[in-house]
Amino acid sequence: MKLAYEFSLYGLDPSLLKEYSTKPSDFLKSYGFSSAFTKKDENLMEELRDAGISVYVEVPLFVGELLWKKFPRSRPITEEG
């Protein structure tokens, strides 16, 4: 059986890469990343997919109380979840 793995970067913020004068896809490939988690950005997602990099969109479920008030059943029952 062949094992598969991904080397992923969590929290990709393309604005931080401007000082490197490189595209996010080139930056990720230069460090061997095969996937990235990022906020929803259609242009960035398209660039990464076109470069063969898997894209996962971050969904901040437990940030602040707004979503808990809107969807109270999503709130953790105990501190362990």
List beta partners, residue 57. Answer: 38
Which of residues 75 and 9 earns the better pLDDT score?
9
Q: Is the dihedral of CA 37, 42, 47, 50 positive or negative?
A: positive
Q: Is the dihedral of CA 53, 50, 44, 41 positive or negative?
A: negative
- Is the pTM of the predicted complex or chain greater than 0.85? no
Give per-residue pLDDT as tens, 28-54.
Answer: 999 999 999 998 889 999 999 999 999
CB 44 within 8 A of CB 38: yes
d(CA 77, CA 51) in angstroms, rounded, equals 41
Mean pLDDT of 7-21: 85
Which of residues 23 and 1 earns the better pLDDT score?
23
